Structure 1
């Protein structure tokens, strides 16, 4: 591949189909396999791929039944945009069902069930002479004429609107000045009225504050007396409770001591076989237990 051809192929791969510099299609197989760019000399209808001289030779040897179009017959409208989903793939198909373009991978995966997916270059062939294109041009021409007529009408209406706007602006200014003056006077009246009410309110609040201070002082005195009395009563109650607790603790220690002595005497009488002594101690123990049960 010559340096000149490389420059042409690289330039073609980076521009769109609307660029006047695009003259030749490059070999897709060379580009896909990282072998650089080679000028396409034929198009395989079955594979939907452009081939250079070398790739075409091997392709014919492997697929002898495929339909090959030479440089003169192959599609001459080239679309060099890459797929946004598969950046290495050219957009070569258009699905009329989905109204969406597709690369080879998208066609095989996303449009496998679509019945109207065609080669983009083939569809574009002869489009400039097609009825759809001519109808579109006629519609655009009519639309442009309508827009021009509308523009003239708008210009006329615009002059009327400008005059009305000027008059409305003057009227609004007059009303605005009157409203501002009335509004300013209203503000002044409100401020004076508020100042008067504020003065009266301050005098009233001063009087209420004096009364409140006297009332709170009296409540404070009563509250302090109540707290002092409650504190005194609590101290007396705590002292009485402490005294009772000490008496109760002494009695408890005394009973525990007697219980230990009685238990020891019972064990001693039992070991020595002194049944009379044991009987007497047993009665004392029962009385003591009853007393403890009743008391605690």
Structure 2
């Protein structure tokens, strides 16, 4: 007579592939099964190589000898019962010895396909549950990684990128040498021209020579930075390449799998930094004489100008299945740390997936991950922030109007950190950065200033008769754009501060941004509808204010004539 819940253990363990019924397709608790009781498994101990029921799991986690074992829950445990003598986890887990960076006591054994991260069991449980992420157990997926197509692609990409960075360094050296030679030629022309005029030109000569010297110092400083960055990247690429080849030769599938994934992620980071190095703006300089200077010496204020033409060379970094990101819709950015209703007054896109916003009422800067549609980190500031701009790939600048300061922040390991502050001479509001220069608008008094990174004023633009409330600014190589909600205009200036044009068809313009083709995007405070002929959704760069304070709103596209 058969007893419910009982079954001979020999019959159960005799096969893992030829089961007799739907009941046998389940995985059962091995300790209980050996005692004659069949209960469904609810977890798997990777140390003991056994499936466990709820009761055994509870006991397993309490016993002193087993409470530190790694236990997989039912969502990610092996779905086929394996006998210990032939367990795939014994044969394929020998080289799983790399500790987790977040949980050093745990070993990396999993890979999240959604976030492209290598994980330990604690990471899977706390941050990458199976209900949200697609997580693979590495021994289950690494069997075919040796000499695989992925191995060939990543290794080839590493070698190609290494070669490209070496070539880029040579190109930059060549361009810089030519630029410095042209600067020396310009100095000779300056001295030759200087002989034709009197001692009144001494001061003017020193000014233009200073420009040359500063430019040469910038060139030398930039090439040093490029060499340092290139050496770091090429060394990392070379080490990774050698390690991958070694692991492949020694047939360490799991470690090779992890190293390849690290290499893929490293290649994505390298790909983001390559354009910054390859777009190094090197120019050839010549001195252009002021032919009217001799007759107008007493009224002229310039010995001449240093002209230049770019010596730019493009370097196209290797592409490894680059991920193009786009997002349309609403993301709630209110968090449990907030004490007030969220009010977004500024934003900038740091990467295709990371949006950085300023929350005025909560004195916070927040990092929004558009992939998971939530705030991934935030920091509290000393006062209410207004606008934000990207300075480098990891550094940001935030305006604090009430404090009359610019707060610099940075991002490291996906965490926001406060850095230093710079004092300014007014209630700063809008801010934009281009080629190491900050363009800042001020509401009180109404004006615009161009600053260096230390807060030194390079150009001051008086707002009298131009601005009343210049809330936001944006800029590119040619122009600076300023939105003024009280004047109801978006004004275009050149970098010398001259007004070139304006647009006045918005009821109250706020946030503005520029696309690569020079199109200006503006957010109308009172405009809740997109215009039929000019409407566009812009899921990137800067956002003005939104009437729906805790949501990201869309943009209204306008062209400045």
Q: Normalising to structure 2: TM-score of the pair?
A: 0.19
Q: Which has the higher helix share?
A: 1
Q: Which has the higher strand share?
A: 2
Q: Normalising to structure 1: TM-score of the pair?
A: 0.34
Larger radius of gyration: 1
